[in-house]
Every structure is written in structure tokens, then in C-alpha cells.
Structure 1
Amino acid sequence: MKRVLYLNIAIWLSAALLFVACEAEEGPVPLESNSNPPGQLTNIQVENLKGKVRLRYTLPEDEDLLYVRANYTLENGETVEVKSSFYNNFMLLEGFRGEQDVPVQLRTVNRSEVASEPVEISVNPLLAPIFDVFSTLKVETDFGGVRITATNEDKDDVSILVMNRNDLGDWEPLPNSIYTSSLDINQSIRGYDTTAVDFAITIRDRWLNTTDTLFTTLKPLYETLIPTSGYRPVRLLNDQPPYPENRVEYLWDGQFFWPNVWLTLRSDPSQDHTVTVDMGTTAKLSRIKMWQYPEWVGGVQTYYYLGAMKEFRIWGTNETPDPSGSFDGWTLLGEYEVTKPSGLPYGQQSNEDVLSATAGEDFEIPFDAPPVRYIRVQNLENFAGQESLAIAEMLMYGAPK
């Protein structure tokens, strides 16, 4: 009988503990308990900006105030909630398309998660930055595709969606559309034949606001990779020597890491830090594509660093180069400056920097430049402020003669 009694007691205790445990799993609760709502915001000032609104206000004097909460609905129907700490007397509301009245409800919230009565205001932000970008958008025919240029004055994150018609005749975005926050947008979309192609271009921001669509039909110019099978190194007497492990031939071997790169020694700034290549054929060049050599810094592949070229020249000639290294007979095809997309200080990089560097950078050759057979790259300054150069890969594109 006692055993039965003990068993019943154990069962009831287990059930009670289980009930308590289930009760405890209902979720976190505020550490404080104050059911009185805090006071409302006062002296609310609205500053309408491009696609956003900055609010300034006076907080109530409640000692247990925790944060300010704003709730609003964007023009595209998406609901947004923004919180700002009680340490601030301002908040930034983002995501607007612009030039439309949008109601915003503002509440203060205390440490017991009790909200005040709302204060409703109306904001009317200016048009989002994508519309300024769209107003500067230009689409022009280019070698093997189209060139897209625009100015992103506010350096906002924008997507320039480039679309072609699919087999069903519907517009379909290209996977290599443009995603950037750079000030000056200048990019080519390549891989097309020389037949006329229909393009549709629109600009979108990260809140899915979109501009109108620009429609155009363009006929790309003929372009091909100048076959690397004809490339040969050309050594000139005043070339600065490379590291012993490097060879010019590594510039077109498809490898991007040490030692399959071209790095000149940093020991003698008086000599020309150049590299010269015989393409094996005369060609009307459209561009030269180069990839930086990524230096390993703290176990991270770092671009725009040390010998990566920042300012340099590209020369061309159709005549056999003077072995002395003189620039007599060479034609200056272009002078270039490499800009880190993020603008971060030396030694720091963003994801956009890495993506841009690993994709390689195209250096356009002016359309009126003469056909050439020999190419010479002359570094003026690298990202470390020196003359030495570091290139992982270099390929030439255009129309062979």
C-alpha cells in the first residue's frame, strides 16, 4: 500500500514539474513590470531626403524609456519597422520611392515593452537616388556588346538590370547585370554576336523600388580574344628584373597565384617597370583585360595592395621594338588609373572590391588607336606608392587584321 502511495506521489510530482517547465517555456518576459505607457514624442522635425527621411524629436522624461519605434508602409506595400535607442534623439527612415505622402506612426516604448499612444506624422521624401542614376544612364554599342555608363552621385547600392528577350519573347534579366555603389558607373556587357540585339535597362534599389525602363536596339562591334597561342615575351635592356620565380609567359597561363604571375623587383626605381608582349599578329584592339595579383595579408587575399598597379600607361607598336627599351616608335594607347570601388583606406577591402578584382578589369583602347602587334605596359605608381608592378593575368581583345 505504501508503495502505491509513493508511486502516486511521484507521478503527481512529475506532472507538477512538467507543468512548471511548460509554463517556463512560454518565452522571455520583460525584466521590469510597468503597465503605464510612456509619454509621447514632441517637437518632431522632419527632414525629407532622397528616398529617406531623417527625424529629430524630444523624448519624454520617463526614466524607464527604452526606445522609439516607427511604423510605416512603403509605396510598394512593404511594411517597415524602425527602432532607435533612447540614447538618440533622431532616427532615419529608409526605403521610400519618393514624392508621395506617407503616414508614419511614432511610439515610445519602455523597458516593460509597453508602448505609448502613437503620434502620426506625414512625410514626403524626395525621389530615391535610383532616379538620379537613371537620368544619367547611357547605353552605347561596344566591342562584343554594349557599354553602360551612369553617375551614382549618392553612392547608393543600385542594381542596373540589363534584360534581353528569351525564346518566348519575354524580357529576362542577365546574370551579369550591374550591382554597384560606385560613383562613376562604366561597364560593358559582352558576349554578343554582331547582329542587332534588343536591350531593356532598368534600375532597382535594395528596397525593390524601380525606375522606368530604357529600351534600345544596338548592333555590337566584332571582338574576339587575340589567341594566346601567338603571345611571346619581349625582353628589353632597361626592364626592371622580376622575381626569379616569375615569367612573362605566366601572364596568359590562366593561373592567378604565386609563382604564376609577373612581379618586378622593388630594388631599383630608376629603371622602367614595364612588361612587353608580342601578340604574334597585328590587331585592332578594343581592350586589355588584367587581373591583379592578390597579396596574402594575415591569411587573407588582399587586392589593391603593394605592387597592384594604380597608375600606368599602355603603349603599342607594329614595328619590332628597339632592344634598348627606348619608347621611340611606340604609340601611347592610353593612360589609366585604377580606383578601388569601395574607396576604403589602403590595406582594407570590401566584398565589392574583391568581386571587382577577381572578375578582372578591362582597360579600353580608344577606337581611333592604330592596329598594333606589340603591347607594352609601363607602371607609373602602384598602390604602395612605388614603381614596381604586379600582374596576375593579361589578355588582349579586338579584331585581328
Structure 2
Amino acid sequence: MKVLKSLLIIPILIIGLSGCKESKIGPQTNNTTPPGPVTQVRVVNEPGQVKLTYNLPSEQDLSYVKAVYMLASGEERVVKSSFYTNQLLVDGFGDTEEHEIKLYAVNKSEVASEPVTVKVKPLENPIFDVFRSLKVLPDFAGINIQAKNMTRRDIAIIPMRKDGYKGWVAFDGIYTSSDSVSRDIRGLDTLSFEVAVIVRDRFLNQTDTLFTTVKPLFETALAKNKYKTMAPSIWPGDQRSNFSNAGTADTGVHRMWDGETQVFPSCAYTPPTTTDAGPHSITFDVGQLAQLSRIVIWDYPETINGLKTWYYRGNMKNFEIWGSANPNPDGSYDSWVKLGTYTSVKPSGLVGYGDLSAEDREIAAAGFSWKFRVDVPKLRYLRIKCNQNWMGTQFLMITEVQVYGNPN
């Protein structure tokens, strides 16, 4: 009986094996005749790159056009463009010297035409404009690095510090395509030290080095265990918290210092509005007089299609922050000083509502650091006033805050 079962299996195996065919890997056609070359090549030199336009050959089995050229690093670069278009962008140039590019038309059998040689002279790489705009400024407990990247190219700004026998030690790099860069490096002592900064692109072209000496200003995180709501709990002129789920989800102001930065209902959440009803504001006490330097605000992220999404709904887009040492109990602003007017901007520049890049999410998840005016006396109370949220109305959703300053 056991032998019979084995014999029955054999025909099945034979049938299965006879049904297997070798898969052909590579071109599915076999046309060994090279296509004609591209013709009438037009050149537009751009910063760090060149746009080529050409006429395609008439072959029916044309697959793509490729450009082959050398980068300054010595690496050969190949850029391809399908037969559906007659344009090709060659990039990666770090200088304005003349470069030679060979263009090939390639058919579906991966047979290339004779090359057409084109000479180009790209304009100055955008990293040099970024470099000329660089500023390294002393800041509270650190330094602030500013730059303009008007072409919105992908760049890396690499700051370093002189660290004794270790030599130059790099801080975390700033990788961005934003047109305006302002990043803080925190956690530094208030001693003078040397800083060096370079700018490079994704092809490892890089600028000269900016050298400077900076001395950070003293700053400390003000202890959250001293923060408290105002008495009465709703300050005159402020909005009450929104209590969803029939009042079971507490979204009061005190939620802004419970240590949670993403989970609902751990956020200050004023009643949602669909039409303008006037700016929403909330007020709280930091618990001590201090020379306030900045506040980090974590916006509450909605979960959209399984992803945490900032720059959305009640996240503040245009807002003000006010400070006071002794606020008038009637809630008026006559005893307050404006510490700043702020606008939240996506680093990516994406304009679609809810459209975010990986950089947008990373920056938002870390919290936004908003600097205060320094030409004001010591203060104790803060009022956050939302003029417009990302939804286009005026309610706000803040999940956590951290205030910094010098209480001495």
C-alpha cells in the first residue's frame, strides 16, 4: 500500500515539472540594429545642473535616452529618460567648468546608438549661495544656524566644533530642502568655542568652511512641576477646553505639562469651530519669575490613514504669545507684553492640506521651538493666542509645552 502511494506521486511530479518553463531575464526582444541618435540637442545651463532637449529617432522600439558623464568626484553618472519625453536633466555638477556629456538612444533590446557628444557649462551650484547666506549666532544654551536655500535643492549643512585633542567633531547635520533654514543646537555650556560649518549636496559637492567663535547664552528648562493653571481656571477672555465623549476626555490646559506629546486626550483643546469666532487663547502660570527665552510647543497630531499628521486641524499656523509678571485680573491685554508673532511653515513647502514629507513629520514630532523677545523684564505668566489654525479657523490643539529661560 505504501509502494502504491509513492507510484501515484511520480506522474504528478512529472506533470508539474513538464509545466515549468525557464523564465527569460533581460530584454524580451532581439533587435541588434542600433537605433538612430538623438538630434538637434538644445542646452539650458542651470545652477548645478543642465536641461537637455532633443529630437528622438523614429525607431518604433525605442526605449529610452541616457546621458553618461563624469562627476567631479571621478564617479561616472548615468541619467535616463523614457521615450515618452524629449527632455533629460543631468545634475550633480559642483563647478562651472565645461563638461562633456554623451547621449545615447537605446532600444528595447538594450542596444545603444552611436553617442552624441554635448558640451555644457552649468551655472554655480546652489550650495555656494547657501554658504554665502550662512549665519552662526549665539543662542540660549546653544547656537542658531541660519541660511537661505532659495532653489529648494536637497542640501546638508554640517556644523562642527573644535574639541581639544579630538579635533573637529560634527554635530548632527541639517538635511533639508526648505528655502529658509533656522536650526538650534542646544545643550551647550556658556563658554566660547570654535565652530566650523560646510554645505554640501547629495552628490558630495561641498563648499569652503565657515569658521567662527560663539558663546552660548545661559538658559535652563523651567521645571514643569511648577506650572499651573490660572485662578479662576478659565482666565477672562480665554476659551474653555473642549470636553469630548460627553465630558469623559479631559482636555484642559494642565494637559500641556503631563509629559505626553502625541496621545489623545492629553492635550489642551479648545472647542472646535468651523467659522471664525475670534482668536482662541489659553493662559498659564510657569510658577516663577524668569527671563524667558523660548517655548517648545508640541502640536497634537491627528492620525490619518494610520500616520501621525501635523500641520492639521487645530495645530496653530498663525499665532501670538504674550507674557506678564502681574496680569490684570479682568483678562485685558494692557498688562501683557507681546513676546512674538509666529507662523508655522512646513519645511517641505508642500501646500496640500495634510500633505507631509518625512522631514515635516520629523520636525513636528520633535516640537517647535519659538523664541521670545529678549528686551523685556522677567515674566511669569504666558498667554497663547491662536489667530488661525491649519484648518483655517481659530481653535487650538497643543499637547505639550516646555518653557525655557533664566530664573536667576
The TM-score with structure 1 as length reference comes to 0.90
Residue matched to 1:43:
40
Aligned to 1:328: 334
Query: Which of 79, 85, 103 does residue 88 from structure 1 map onto?
Result: 85
SS at match of 2:166: coil
Q: Contact 1:162–1:173 (CA<8 Å) still a contact in 2? A: yes
Tell me the distance in 1 between the aligned counterparts of 2:239 and 2:42.
63
Q: Hey, what's the Cα distance between the residues in 1 that align with 2:98 and 2:278?
A: 64
Query: In 2, Cα distance between the equivalents of 1:48 and 1:262?
Result: 52
Establish whether residue 32 from structure 1 lines up as the match of residue 29 from structure 2. yes
1:249 Cα deviation from its structure 2 partner: 1.8
Letter in 2 for 1:184: S
Task: Report 1:141-180 matches (<5 A).
Answer: 141-166=138-163, 168-175=165-172, 177-180=173-176
Give yes or no for contact 2:268–2:399 (8 Å, CA) kept in 1.
yes
Q: How does 1:1-400 map to 2 (within 5 A)?
A: 24=22, 28-166=25-163, 168-175=165-172, 177-234=173-230, 235-244=234-243, 245-256=250-261, 257-266=263-272, 270=277, 273-319=280-326, 321-344=327-350, 345-400=352-407
The answer (yes or no) to whether the contact 2:48–2:94 under 8 Å persists in 1 is: yes
Q: CA deviation at 1:369?
A: 2.3
Give per-residue Cα distances to partners, 1:144-180, cap 9 Å, x unaligned.
11111111000111111011234533222212x2111
Which amino acid is 2:215 matched to?
K
CA contact (8 A) 2:267 2:397 kept: yes
CA distance in 2: counterparts of 1:266 and 1:250, whole angstroms: 17
- 1:133 is paired with a residue of what secondary structure? helix
Percent of residue pairs identical: 43
Aligned residue in 1 for 2:10: none
Distance 2:113 2:174 in 1: 44
From the superposition, tell whether residues 112 and 389 of structure 1 become closer, same or farther in structure 2 (CA, over 3 Å).
same
TM-score (norm 2): 0.89
| Distance in 2 separating the partners of 1:397 and 1:378 | 19
What's the offset of the Cα at 1:330? 0.8
> Tell me, what secondary structure is at the counterpart of 1:328?
helix
Tell me if structure 2 keeps the 8 A contact 1:240–1:271.
Answer: no
Partner Cα distance (2:278, 2:95) in 1: 57
CA distance in 1, matches of 2:251, 2:340: 26
The Cα of 1:336 is off from its aligned counterpart by: 0.9
Q: Within 1, Cα distance between the matches of 2:100 and 2:276?
A: 64
> What are the Cα deviations for residues 60-83 of structure 1, in whole angstroms up to 9, with x where unaligned?
222222111111110111211111
Once the two structures are TM-superposed, the CA of residue 262 in structure 1 deviates from its matched residue by: 0.4
TM-superposed CA distance for 1:299, in Å, is: 2.8
| 4+ aligned runs moved over 6 Å, structure 1 | none
Shift in Å, 1:294: 0.3
Q: Is the CA contact 1:38–1:110 (under 8 Å) kept in the aligned structure 2? A: yes
Offset at residue 34 of structure 1 (A): 1.8
> In the TM superposition, what whole-angstrom CA distance separates every residue of 1:50-99 from its partner, at most 9, and x where no partner exists?
11110011122222221111111101112111111112111000111121
Question: How far apart, in 2, do the equivalents of 1:170 and 1:222 lie?
Answer: 25
Change (3 A) 1:273 1:29: closer
